[in-house]
């Protein structure tokens, strides 16, 4: 396991003797490090109460005592929760455990558009058009709720691999702003 991206979070987790466990945070058994952003780390986790896979975004411990950072983290969760659309991941809950704020999202198996580009290089025209359609639909849904993403880049476009159509999701709303009430 790559610890470089989550060593700061790992020491705050409860131990879990499950062979796949990184550790536990409340009802969530963290099983895989997914990635890291400016505000925290994302893990694949088992929701032990609801018995389903989820994505758990945990605010970095060094930011957890910063009121402004906590408010921005909550604002990100609210922005995502306000949008109900196929190209936006669903937020299930927000919470705090071991003094670490987190939010729980639908888990999508896949990788970022940036990873896809790094592996495959230039896209075919048909693939570019399909990606642009998914992104445009997600942005339109966000804009209909008065939310501007403000950080759209290949790293924040996630390619789900659950189905043949390979749904794309707009992720990371940490810089999102509400532009109308």
Neighbours of 45 (CB within 10 A): 28
**Catalytic (active site) residue 97:** no
Question: Six-digit token pair at 57?
Answer: 């975004």
CA distance 102 to 96: 6
Please name the residue that has the structure tokens 């060593």: 7
Q: What is the DSSP string of 30-70?
A: EEEEEEE-SSEEEEEEEETTTTEEEEEEEE-TTTTT-HHHH
In the set 16, 151, 163, 172, the catalytic residue is 151
Q: What is the dihedral of CA 16, 4, 95, 110, to 10 degrees?
A: -90
Active site residues: 151
């Amino acid at each position: 396991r790559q610890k470089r991206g989550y060593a700061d979070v790992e020491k705050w987790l409860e131990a879990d003797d499950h062979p796949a466990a990184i550790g536990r945070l409340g009802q969530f058994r963290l099983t895989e490090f997914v990635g890291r952003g400016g505000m925290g780390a994302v893990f694949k986790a088992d929701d032990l109460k609801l018995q389903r896979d989820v994505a758990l975004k945990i605010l970095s411990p060094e930011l957890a005592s910063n009121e402004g950072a906590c408010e921005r983290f909550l604002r990100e969760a609210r922005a995502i929760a306000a949008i109900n659309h196929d190209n936006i991941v669903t937020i299930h809950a927000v919470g705090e455990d071991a003094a670490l704020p987190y939010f729980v999202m639908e888990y999508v198996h896949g990788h970022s558009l940036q990873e896809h580009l790094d592996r495959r290089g230039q896209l075919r025209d048909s693939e570019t058009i399909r990606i642009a359609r998914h992104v445009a639909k997600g942005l339109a849904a966000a804009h209909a709720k008065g939310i501007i993403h403000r950080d759209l880049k290949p790293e924040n476009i996630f390619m789900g691999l659950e189905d043949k159509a390979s749904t794309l999701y707009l992720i990371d709303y940490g810089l999102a702003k509400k532009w109308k009430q």
